[in-house]
């Protein structure tokens, strides 16, 4: 299981594109999803790269991820800087990428712009979505929740109610953007499933069992009866901080889109808030770089606790991994490769050679 395969970025993207189009996804959607999933693997966020493709293909086959069409405009920009879409459960990577494209000229014109999206399907890796606009000098914020997901209890409670609620904040950096992508719970659903699959415990009590007691056992989340939950950032001692982050994301992604837990959706989905800021409308992009590139230098040169582990900024490791992937291809675990090949067989898509 620990064996991995290497696949060039272009080959990987073409393979994913062909799988998605064979499954019925419209070509523009298949192309964006394939491109961003391979980028996600390139950035090293492997739980959300091509490892997600078999799950998406299953959702398409069941009719849970929409194959074609456009989002409905719930509220247009008009003269302002905000809009709301109903994503009709179209692929989230395509929807959010499209939204960012619509927001860019508004942000360039007004200084900032934002969109709330209800009923998107899963949006994958937020850092991969945010990278493009940050590469072009914008600050990108993405908040994401799944109103059908109940995996995290409110602070002080013991019944799962919230989703992990990731948040990305990306900004322009000297050589590559700073890519912050983290959630309001200590760990994620994907990491928990990986631990269960590997038969491992968490090194610290990042779960809560059904009685609300801290636990290192990843099985409490989906295999316990009754079920437990993932702990909020801050855990038992200061989990009110993770709760605050989680509520902010619920407000932006569900409150502003006018759809959420109140509607009790049962379908795997995503509610999203995306905001772009153009530093040129504040003190300017040069001034922004002067401050933030200097801060980055001060961080990287801070004396490390462990001399073998210099301080790095969020996005540093991703940039290094992406450069390596561009030269040598992405690494796929056998389990992902096997699942992709099974779908290729079923959809009559040819498997790339190495």
Which span (49-57, 239-247, 334-342, 345-353) binds a copy of itself, by CB under 8 A? 239-247
User: Considering the rule CB under 8 A, would residue 225 count as an interface residue with a copy of itself?
Assistant: no
Among 137, 212, 333, 352, binds a copy of itself (CB under 8 A): 212
State which residue, 39 or 139, has the beta carbon closest to a copy of itself: 139
CB of 5 to a copy of itself, least distance (A): 29
Query: For 48, what's the count of Cα atoms within 13 Å in the CB-facing half-sphere?
Result: 22
Whichever of 110 and 268 has its CB closer to a copy of itself, that residue is: 110
Say if residues 205 and 153 touch (Cβ distance below 8 Å).
Answer: no
Q: Is the peptide bond before 217 cis (omega within 30 degrees of 0)?
A: no
Which residue number, 138 or 332, has a Cβ lying nearer to a copy of itself?
A: 138
Measured CA to CA, the distance from residue 228 to residue 162 in angstroms comes to 12
Which residues, 42 to 81, sit near a copy of itself by CB under 8 A?
74-75, 79-81
Residue 95 · residue 117 · CB < 8 Å: yes
b (16+ CB within 10 A) / e for 266-292: eebbbbbbbbbbbbbeeeeeeebbeeb
Interacting residue with a copy of itself among 186, 339, 340, 349 (CB under 8 A):
186
Instruction: With beta carbons less than 8 A apart as the criterion, state whether 164 and 296 touch.
Output: no
Binding flags for a copy of itself, 140-159, as an x/- string (CB under 8 A): -------------xxxxxxx
Say how far apart CA 117 and CA 16 lie, in whole Å: 25
Locate 81 and state its tokens.
């800087």
What is the rounded CA–CA span in Å between residue 203 and residue 221?
16
Distance from C-alpha of 246 to C-alpha of 305, rounded to nearest angstrom: 30
Residues 81-110 binding a copy of itself (CB under 8 A) are 81-82, 84, 109-110
Say if CB 115 and CB 273 are below 8 A apart.
Answer: yes
DSSP string across 263-284: G---S--EEEEEEEE-GGGTT-
Instruction: Provide, rounded to whole angstroms, the least separation between the CB of residue 90 and a copy of itself.
Output: 19
Binding test (CB under 8 A) with a copy of itself, winner from 32, 188, 192, 254: 254
Stretch 277-336 residues interacting with a copy of itself (CB under 8 A): 277, 279, 281-284, 287-288, 290-292, 294-295, 298-299, 302-306, 309-314
Residue among 322, 320, 337 at smallest CA distance from 6: 337
Give the pair of three-digit tokens for residue 275: 């905001």
Q: Which of 244, 268, 324, 347 binds a copy of itself (CB under 8 A)?
A: 244
Give the binding range for a copy of itself (CB under 8 A) out of 47-55, 87-95, 255-263, 340-348: 255-263
Whichever of 61 and 236 has its CB closer to a copy of itself, that residue is 236
Are the C-beta atoms of residues 145 and 301 closer than 8 Å to each other?
Answer: no
Residue 243 in the binding site for a copy of itself (CB under 8 A):
yes
Shortest approach of a copy of itself to residue 140 CB, angstroms?
11
Q: Which stretch binds a copy of itself (CB under 8 A): 38-46, 59-67, 258-266, 331-339?
A: 258-266
Q: Between 38 and 296, whose beta carbon lies closer to a copy of itself?
A: 296
In the complex, what is the shortest distance from the CB of residue 229 to a copy of itself, in angstroms, rounded to a whole number?
Answer: 10
| Spatial CB neighbours of 339, under 8 Å, sequence gap ≥ 6 | 53, 54
Smallest distance, a copy of itself to C-beta of residue 94, A: 22
Q: Retrieve residue 297's tokens.
A: 């230098």
Both tokens of 179, joined, read 């890519």
> Cβ distance 209 to 225 under 8 Å?
no
Nearer to a copy of itself, 8 or 214 (CB): 214
Closest CB 53 distance from a copy of itself, rounded Å: 27
Q: Binding residues for a copy of itself, how many (CB under 8 A)?
A: 84
């Amino acid at each position: 299981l620990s064996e991995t395969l290497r696949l060039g970025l272009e080959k990987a993207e073409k393979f994913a594109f062909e799988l998605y189009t064979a499954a019925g996804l419209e070509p523009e959607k298949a192309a964006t999803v394939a491109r961003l999933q391979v980028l996600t693997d390139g950035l090293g966020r492997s739980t959300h790269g091509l490892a997600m493709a078999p799950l998406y293909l299953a959702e398409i086959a069941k009719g849970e991820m929409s194959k074609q069409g456009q989002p409905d405009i719930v509220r247009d920009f008009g003269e302002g800087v905000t809009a709301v879409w109903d994503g009709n459960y179209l692929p989230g990577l395509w929807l959010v990428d499209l939204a960012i494209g619509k927001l860019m000229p508004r942000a360039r014109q007004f200084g900032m712009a934002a969109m709330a999206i209800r009923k998107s399907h899963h949006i994958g890796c937020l850092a991969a979505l945010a990278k493009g606009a940050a590469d072009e000098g914008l600050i990108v914020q993405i908040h994401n929740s799944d109103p059908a997901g109940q995996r995290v209890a409110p602070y002080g409670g013991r019944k799962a109610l919230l989703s992990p609620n990731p948040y990305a904040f990306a900004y322009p950096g000297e050589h590559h953007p700073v890519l912050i992508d983290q959630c309001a719970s200590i760990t994620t659903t994907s990491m928990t499933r990986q631990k269960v699959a590997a038969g491992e415990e968490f090194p610290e009590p990042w779960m809560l069992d059904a009685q609300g007691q801290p636990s290192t056992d990843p099985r409490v989340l989906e295999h316990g009866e009754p079920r437990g939950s993932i702990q909020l950032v801050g855990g038992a001692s200061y989990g009110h901080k993770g709760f605050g982050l989680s509520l902010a994301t619920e407000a932006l992604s569900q409150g502003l889109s006018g759809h959420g837990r109140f509607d009790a959706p049962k379908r795997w989905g995503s509610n999203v808030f995306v905001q772009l800021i153009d530093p040129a409308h504040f003190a300017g992009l040069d001034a922004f770089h002067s401050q933030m590139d200097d801060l980055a230098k001060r961080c990287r040169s801070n004396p490390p606790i462990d001399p073998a582990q210099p301080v790095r900024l969020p996005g540093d490791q991703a940039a290094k991994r992406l450069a390596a992937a561009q030269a040598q291809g992405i690494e796929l675990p056998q389990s992902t490769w096997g699942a992709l090949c099974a779908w290729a067989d079923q959809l009559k898509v040819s498997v790339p050679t190495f």
